Structure 1
Amino acid sequence: MQIKATLDRIPGGMMVVPLLIAATINTFAPNLLRIGNFTEALFVNSAPALIALFLLCAGAQINLSNVGVALGKGVTLLVVKWFVGAAIGLLAYIMAGPNGLFLGLAPLAIIAAMTNSNGGLYMAIVGQYGKEDDKAAYSILALNDGPFLTMVALAIFGAMGFVDGMFSLVSFISVLLPIVIGMILGNLDPEMREFLGKGSDMLIPFFAFALGMGINFEAIINGGLSGVMLGIATVLFTGTAGYLAFKAFGWNPIVGAAEGSTAGNAVATPAAIAAANASFASVAELATVQVAASTVTTAILLPLYIAFLVKRLEKKNKLQQYYQTAN
C-alpha cells in the first residue's frame, strides 16, 4: 500500500490529509483519541512540542551567513499580513451600517482574523515548499499571535488606546529560542546539522494531525456564511498579498502565500479586546464565532489555494527556479 506516494501526489498532502482526518474525528467523535496517556499526548496535545522540535531542526539548517535573509522574509510576512488586515478592517469600519456590521461581519472580527496567521499551517506548508530561512522567518511572523497587532490597528483607527500587558517579550523569546538553539548546534557541528535535518520532514504529518484535533467543523455552521466569507477573504487577500510581495523580492512566492490563514488563538482576540475596552462587548460574541469559522475555513482552503498556486508556477516552469534562489 503506497501511502507516502499517494500523499506526495497531493499538493501539501503530508499536512492537509492528516489535518482533515483529525478535524473529522474531532467533529464527529471528539473523545475517540482523548483517552489519556501516550495516545492523547501524541495525537491530541503534541502540536506545540512537535512544532518546537520542527523549529529546532529547521534552525540547525540555517547558516549564519543567511540569517539576514530569514529576518527580511519574516518582517515582510508580518508587515504585509498586518497592513492588508488593518486596511480591510478600516474600510469595514468606514462602510459599516447602523448595526456596526459590514456585509454581516463585525470589523473587529475582520481585523482579528486577517492580522493573525496560523503558525502551524505556515510551517507545514513551508516544510514542503520552502527553505530553511523560510522556516526561520516564522520567529518574526509569530509576533502576530494573540491580540497585540489587532489592538495596534484599533489604536491607529482611534477606536482604542494601547493596552498594557497584551504583548509579552518572553512569549516572543519562547518562540525564537528553539530556532536559535538549533542554529547554534548546526553551526557548531555540521554533523549535528545533518542529523537534525532528517527530523523536520518526518514531524509534519504528526503536528498537522494534532492541529486538526483542535478544529471542529461546527464552527463553520455557528459562524454562518459571513464567517466563511471572512475565511475566504483572509486566504485570497492576505495570501495573495504575501505571494505578490515575495515574488517582487525574488523569493519563493508560495512561502508568502502561506501566511494567508487565521490562527486558532485568534478566536480569543475579540473577548480579550472586549475585556480591555467595554465598547467592544456588544460585538465580541459575534466576532468570536466569525473568527472561529474563519479559522476552520482557512485551514481547509489555504492548502487548496497553495496547490493551485504551485500548479500555476509548475506550468510556467518557475517553481524550481525559486527553490534554487530561495536562499
Structure 2
Amino acid sequence: MRIKATLDRIPGGMMVVPLLLAATINTLFPDLLRIGGFTEALFVNSSSALIALFLLIAGTQINLRTAGTSVKKGVTLLTYKWVLGALVGLLGFWLADSNGLFLGMAPLAIIAAMTNSNGGLYIALAGQYGKEEDKAAYPFLALSDGPFLTMVALSIFGTMGFANGMFSPTSFIAVLLPLIVGVVLGNLDSEMKDFLSKGSDKLVPFFAFSLGMGINFTAIIQGGLSGVLLGVITVVLTGGGGYLIFKWIGWNPIVGASEGSTAGNAVGTPVAIVAANASFGVHAELATVQIAASVVTTAILLPIFIGFLSKHLDKKGGVAKYNE
C-alpha cells in the first residue's frame, strides 16, 4: 500500500488528509482516542508542541547572510503579500456582520491564509519559470511561516479598534521564541541547520491530525465554501498582485505570481493566535477549516493561473527575456 505516494498526489495532502480524517473521527467518535497515556498525548494534545518545533526548524532555514538581488526579491514578495493580506483582513474586520464574519470568512483566516505562502509550490514554480536568484529568495519568504506576521497585523488592528486588542509582550514572545531560537541555531551552525531541516516535513501530518481532533465536521461543512472563496481570493489578489509588482519593477512577473498560495502550516496559525490571545478563540475552529480549504484550493488553482499568465506573457516575448 503506497500511502505516502497517494498523499503526495493530493494538493496539501500531508496536511489536509490527516486533518480531515481526525475531524471525522472527532465528529463521529469523539472519545475514541481520548483514552489518556501516549495515545491521547500524541493524537489529541500534541499540536502546540509540534507546531512550536516546526517553527524552530523553519527558523534554522533562514539565512541572514543572503544578499543581493535575492534579498530584494524576497523582501518584496514578503512585504507585498503581508500588506495585501493584512489590508483584506482589515476590510474583513471593518465590514464583518453580527457574527464577526466577512462573506462567511473569519478575518483571522483571511490574514493567516493570505500572508502565508506554500514554499514548496513557490520553489517549484520559480524553478520552472525563473532562475537561481529567484529560488534563492525563498529563505526570506520563510519569515511568513507560522503566526508571527498574522500577530503583527492583529496587534496593529487592535490599536485601531478593529481587532480584539493587543497581545501581551510575554505571550507574543512565547509564541515567537521557537522561531528566534531556530534562526540563531541555523546561522551559528550550518551542520545544525542541515540536521534539523530533515525533520520538519515529518511533523506536518502529526500536528495536522492533532489539530483535526479539535474540529467538529459540522464546522468543515460551514467553512468549506467560504474557504474555497478564500483560496480563490488569495490566488487572484496575491498572485495577480505579485505579477503586476514584479512586472513594474522589471523582474520576472511569473515569479511574483508564484507567491499566490496558502501554506499548509498556516492551518496551525489560529491555534498559536489563541494561545497568545484567547479572545480570538470564538472563530479559531472555523478559521482553521477555512485555511485548510484555502490550502487545497490555491495548490490546485495557482499552477493553472500561472499557466494562463505565462501564455499571456508569451505574446509579449515570454519569460526568457527576464532570465537572461
Give the TM-score normalised by the residue count of structure 2: 0.67
Compute the displacement of 1:310 (Å): 0.9
Shift of 1:220: 7.8
Unaligned runs of 5+ residues in structure 1 are 1-17, 31-47, 182-207
Contact 1:143-1:172 at 8 Å conserved across structures: no
The DSSP-based 3-state class of the residue aligned with 2:280 is helix
The aligned runs of 1:176-215 (5 Å cut-off) are none
In the other structure, the counterpart of 1:276 is 276
Pair 1:160-2:166 in alignment: yes
1:295 alignment partner in structure 2:
295
The answer to whether 1:251 aligns with 2:243 is no
| 1:303 maps to amino acid | P
Q: In structure 2, how many angstroms separate the alpha carbons of the residues matched to 1:103 and 1:143?
A: 29
Please say if 1:242 is aligned against 2:242: yes
Q: Give the aligned partner of residue 37 of structure 2.
A: none
Superposition CA RMSD, Å: 3.7
Aligned to 1:200: none
Letter of the 1:81 partner, please give it: K
Give the 3 Å change call, closer, same or farther, for CA 126–270 of structure 1 in structure 2: same
Whichever residue aligns with residue 148 of structure 2, its letter is: F
Residues 70-85 of structure 1: pairs in structure 2 closer than 5 A: 70-85=70-85
Match of 1:184 in 2: none
CA change 1:221–1:296 in 2 (3 A) is farther
| CA 1:22–1:264: 2 relative to 1, 3 Å | closer
- 1:316 maps to what in 2? 316
Compared with structure 1, are the counterparts of its residues 245 and 283 closer, same or farther at alpha carbon in structure 2 (3 Å cutoff)?
A: same
1:221 to 1:311, Cα distance in 2 relative to 1, 3 A: farther
Which residue of structure 2 lines up, in the alignment, with residue 147 of structure 1?
147
> Does 2:136 match 1:136?
yes
- Give 1:136 shift: 0.9
Contact 2:220-2:286 at 8 Å conserved across structures: no
Query: Partners in 2 of 1:137 and 1:21 — Cα distance?
Result: 23
Give the number of equivalent residue pairs: 250
Q: What CA deviation, in whole Å up to 9, does each residue of 1:279-301 have, x standing for no partner? A: 11110000000001001111111
TM-score, normalization by structure 1: 0.67
AA partner of residue 224 (structure 2): G
Secondary structure of 1:110 counterpart: helix
Instruction: Name the CA distance, whole Å, in 1 between partners of 2:298 and 2:11.
Output: 16
Match of 1:101 in 2: 101
The sequence identity of aligned pairs, in percent, is: 59
Residue 128 of structure 1 deviates from its aligned partner by 1.0
State the distance in 2 between where 1:114 and 1:21 align: 17
Distance 1:227 1:21, change over 3 A: closer
Q: For the Cα contact (< 8 Å) 2:230–2:294, is it kept in 1? A: yes
Distance 2:304 2:153 in 1: 29
1:169 to 162, 166, 180: 180
**Partner SS, residue 281 of structure 1:** helix
Q: What letter corresponds to residue 160 of structure 1 in structure 2?
A: M
- d(CA) in 2 for partners of 1:177 and 1:248? 37
Q: CA offset at residue 245 of structure 1?
A: 1.2
* Separation in 1, partners of 2:247, 2:185: 30
Question: Does 2:111 match 1:111?
Answer: yes
The 3 A distance-change label for structure 1 pair 174 and 312 is: farther
Report the CA distance between 1:170 and its aligned residue: 3.4
1:213-228 equivalences under 5 Å are 223-228=223-228
Amino acid aligned to 1:323: N
Task: Give me the whole-angstrom Cα distance separating, in 1, the residues matched to 2:277 and 2:86.
Answer: 19
Matched residues in 1 for 2:118 and 2:11: separation? 18
Aligned to 1:186: none
CA gap 1:116/1:175 in 2 versus in 1, 3 angstroms: farther
CA distance change for structure 1 residues 222 and 134 in 2, over 3 Å: closer, same or farther?
A: farther
1:92 aligns with 2:92: yes
Question: In the alignment, is the contact (CA less than 8 A) between 1:142 and 1:175 conserved in 2?
Answer: no
Tell me how far apart the structure 2 counterparts of residues 67 and 19 of structure 1 sit (CA, whole Å).
35
1:9 aligned partner: none
Contact 2:118 2:259 in 1 (8 A): yes
Alpha-carbon offset, residue 267 of structure 1: 0.4
CA shift digits 1:174-227 (9 cap, x unpaired): 77799x89xxxxxxxxxxxxxxxxxxxxxxxxxx9xx99x999x9986731100
Structure 2: segments with no counterpart, 5+ residues: 1-7, 22-53, 159-164, 192-200, 210-216
The aligned residue for residue 214 of structure 2 is none
Q: How far apart in 1 are the matches of 2:259 and 2:186?
A: 17
Amino acid at match of 2:95: M
